Structure 1
Amino acid sequence: MTTAAFAPSKVDPTGILAGIMLSFLATAGLFYVNIMAAIVDGLITGLGLSESEAGLIGSANIYGASLGALVAVVLIKAVPWRPAAYVLLISLIALDLISMPIRDADALLAVRAIHGLVGGMLVGIAFGVIARTAQADRTFGILLFVQFGLGGLGVMTLPQLVPIYGTQALFIALALFSFASLVMLTFLPAYPPKPLTVSEGGTVEWRPLFLTLGAIFLFQAANMGLLAYIFRLGIAYGLERTYTSYALGLATWVALLGPLCVILIGTKYGRFLPLALVMLLTLGGTAIFHFSANPLAYLVANCGTGITWGMVMAYLLGMASQFDGAGRTAAAAGLVSKIGLASGPLVAGQLLGDQGDYGMLINVALVTLLLSMLVMLVPARLLDIRQPD
């Protein structure tokens, strides 16, 4: 009996199952973002931290991921991605377990920043591998479908567990997710680099790339600035804790419609038209948060912005992946995305301060989303012209 007989069979590299496994791999390093509202509330409720301290720890986690994603831009081409992913997943599990007994805000901030660094490298590598798939837009759609589905489960259940079991419940959930991703990694096939598809001369087209990256930064910062405090926003508007928790969980599951649309239609209608229409819906949904004192309005706003968030990011990440067959520009998009995700809660925490002016926070998010829309439509139109369907 040879060693090969014990080797797990690999899944079809172009199939849905491979897309799901790649999605778990990409999500493992940044799953805390999908349950950020639960984590911020958990740090406040379970450890007694202030809103600013909780937001700072969340931002440190994501800023660490930004640095890790920067490292991944180099790693994706220089290092075999599978062995690197094994090491990074095991490190993530260890760091989550180390975080469990910590109650000091400064110590937790340091550990979570290191966790972010490791997770950012993993996500950057995974994004680079996804960029090598046959249909990157579709695979990114699957990624966001997985993230939203599991994120909905997290924000629905974890805020209820923290008052009983403390913040340990948060870190156990993160460690279990990384372990599941570690198991799936053994079944993924190799994804070698593919040829460049956009630049006729074989070089990166920097202008549309930078515009795409700028749109990603603005879009992620605006959305995460709200999401990190969305649970607290509901409570500030007078909603019950239980209703707010279940509304967020339900909204995250409804938001699966966004990436599902990308999975089904891909670029059949190009990128410009879907992005223009969806961003208008994003602006409308975000504005509805002003009426969160009405439980239905709070639910509708979360559902609407959740649907559009997944759809827009799937297209933006797919756009970024068109500029380099090795996956470096997709890894760069992951870097910029994380900087945006980290900046949102940091700025939001400062805007809220001690007064908790959520109306101003909503307005700042609206302006930032509008800027993102104007920026993203330029490279979307360019790609539609160069890659007509």
Structure 2
Amino acid sequence: MATTAHAAPAAVSSDKGTYTYIAVFSAVLYTVLLIAPVIAGKLIEQFGLTPVQVGTLFSLELGAFSLATVPAYLWLRRMNLRTASYIFTAIVIAGNVVSGFVDDFGLLMIARVVTSLAAGSITVIILTLSGKTANPSRAFGIFVVFQLAMGALILAVFPSLFAGAPVSAIYWTLAGLAVLCLLVVNRIDGEVLRTAAAPVPGHAANRVPVFKAAAGMAAVLLFYIALSGVWSFIAQISAGSGIDLSASSLVLSLATVGGILSALVATALGETPRRKLYLAAGYAGMALSIVLLFGSPALIQFAVAAVIFKFAWTFILPYLLSTLSSLSSGAHLMNTTNLMIGTGFSIGPIVSGALIQSGGGSFTGMLVFALAGVLASCALVLMAQRR
């Protein structure tokens, strides 16, 4: 009886520590991806880089971020997660410090790839720990909220704060932020994966439903292909409709606020038996927003579409990820999910750009493709729900 009485508070305390870890690391680690527009101008100015070189650098960073999944198959269940967090955070700090000192583009690429591999490795830990909490939807909601909040802060502060500073100042600021992450590493249970109860042979709860897992993975991949494809070109859709740049920027800022609010709503709701309903509603909203972008939407229609799109996207994401975490008590399913996210992010803009170009500048083909991707993702994630 005594053991039972103390188990719940211990679990709650452990979850609070995990939530803190997720919040701090997700805000800091995604900063470099969020300030890409700020860094791009600095790199071109300071190193004399071409747009192709800058694009290559960011593609390598994003690729390394998701490819960190591959080595994680080897270490994730074998290493103490606190030790792994300290090691990878130290690499992120060192990588950002070195990035500020190098004056050769080749060396900069190497430094950025190594830094992103370490940051991606910590993301694998975040996703895995989120699925281990008593309320995975809330944990994934925190993961999304703090990325978006930091993104909004960065876009508001960084351009003016670093207007006259060299790119090294930005990288060193990122290193300083990463140092702060070290303060929350001890909030997690480093042995949570290694001390998990051994599976009982033949027990149904220990089996990963292969079809549902495959459907869930495909849902995540298609979701990210669709959203990254549309969001990458949403400003161009606005311009193609003759909407003024300042008005378009204001709309996208409001959409970002809407995204933060919806992620907060998902975080507050947390794990719920109505997850299937919430997912269906979120996907319906996302599909509606894409439909509203067809043709040449006027300002009000474009604003409604952009706000609904961002609101729906960030509302869906915590429940999409918690669906995957519910399918297996192991770590590797969430590890693979990180690979699906990175792959989807990479494929979306490339395919959308090709469809726009092949359509002679029309966005219709791209929007049809995105709409099909959203509907297919919705069908797959509903099939992946565990009864």
**Same fold, judged at TM 0.5 (above):** yes
Question: Could you say what secondary structure the match of 1:22 adopts?
Answer: helix
CA deviation profile, 1:18-71 (whole Å, cap 9, x unmatched): 413323224544433344555556656776655544433222111111211222
Structure 2 residue 288 is the aligned partner of structure 1 residue 284: yes
**Residue in 1 aligned with 2:346?**
342
The DSSP-based 3-state class of the residue aligned with 2:13 is: coil
1:330 maps to which of 321, 331, 334? 334
1:156 aligns with 2:162: no
Question: What is the DSSP-based 3-state SS (H/G/I as helix, E as strand, rest coil) of the residue aligned with 1:255?
Answer: helix
Code of the residue aligned with 2:14 in structure 1: it is P
Specify the alignment match of 1:202 in structure 2: 206
Secondary structure in structure 2 of the residue aligned to 1:165: coil
The amino acid of 2:122's aligned partner reads L
Structure with max Cα Rg: 2
Superposed CA offset, 1:156-196 (max 9, x none): 33344554335445434533432222222233344624568
Match of 2:25 in 1: 25
Question: In the TM superposition, what whole-angstrom CA distance separates every residue of 1:62-114 from its partner, at most 9, and x where no partner exists?
Answer: 11112112222332211111111111111112222333355765554443222
Partner of 1:305: 309
Q: CA deviation at 1:289?
A: 5.0
Q: 1:107 to 1:25 in 2, by over 3 A?
A: same
Aligned to 2:15: 14
CA distance in 2, matches of 1:367, 1:73: 33
Indicate the SS of the match to 1:12.
helix
The root-mean-square deviation of aligned C-alpha atoms, in Å, is 3.7
Aligned counterparts, 1:239-254, within 5 A: 247-254=251-258
Q: Would you say the 8 A contact 2:60–2:113 is kept in 1?
A: yes
Instruction: Tell me the residue number matched to 1:132.
Output: 132
Distance 1:257 1:277 in 2: 16
**CA deviation vs aligned residue, 1:331-362 (integer Å, no higher than 9, x gap):** 21112112222333444566677x997753x7
SS in 2 for 1:323: coil
Partner AA of 1:77 in structure 2: R
User: Any conservation in 1 of the 2:227–2:370 contact (CA below 8 Å)?
Assistant: no
Q: Return the alpha-carbon distance in structure 1 between the equivalents of residues 38 and 368 of structure 2.
A: 23
Deviations 1:310-342 (A, max 9, x none): 222211211111232232211211121122223
Residue 273 of structure 1: aligned partner:
277
SS at match of 1:383: coil
What letter matches 1:315 in structure 2? Y
* Letter in structure 1 aligned against 2:135: Q
Is there any run of 5+ residues in structure 1 with no aligned partner, and where?
1-9
| CA distance in 2: counterparts of 1:287 and 1:176, whole angstroms | 43
Q: 1:371 aligns with which of 363, 370, 373?
A: 373
TM superposition shift of 1:255? 0.8
Q: Is the 8 A contact 1:60 1:342 kept in 2?
A: no
State whether residues 29 and 118 of structure 1, in contact with CA within 8 Å, keep that contact through their aligned partners in structure 2: no
Taking every aligned residue pair, what percent have the same amino acid on both sides? 21
Letter in 2 for 1:13: S
1:192-231 correspondence to structure 2 within 5 Å: 192-193=192-193, 194=196, 200=204, 202-228=206-232
* Aligned mates of 1:342, 1:268 — CA distance in 2: 31
User: What's the counterpart of residue 94 of structure 1?
Assistant: 94
Shift of 1:155: 2.3
| Count of matched residue positions in the alignment of Structure 1 and Structure 2 | 372
Q: Map of 1:348-367 to 2, 5 A cutoff?
A: 359-360=362-363, 363-364=365-366, 366-367=368-369
TM superposition score normalised by structure 1:
0.79
Measured in 2, the distance between the counterparts of 1:90 and 1:377 equals: 42
C-alpha deviation, 1:379, in angstroms: 4.1
Cα 1:321–1:129 change in 2 (3 A) is same
TM-superposed CA distance for 1:148, in Å, is: 1.0
Secondary structure of the equivalent of 1:78? coil
User: Could you say which residue in structure 2 is the equivalent of 1:56?
Assistant: 56
Instruction: Report which stretch shifted further, 64-73 or 188-197.
Output: 188-197
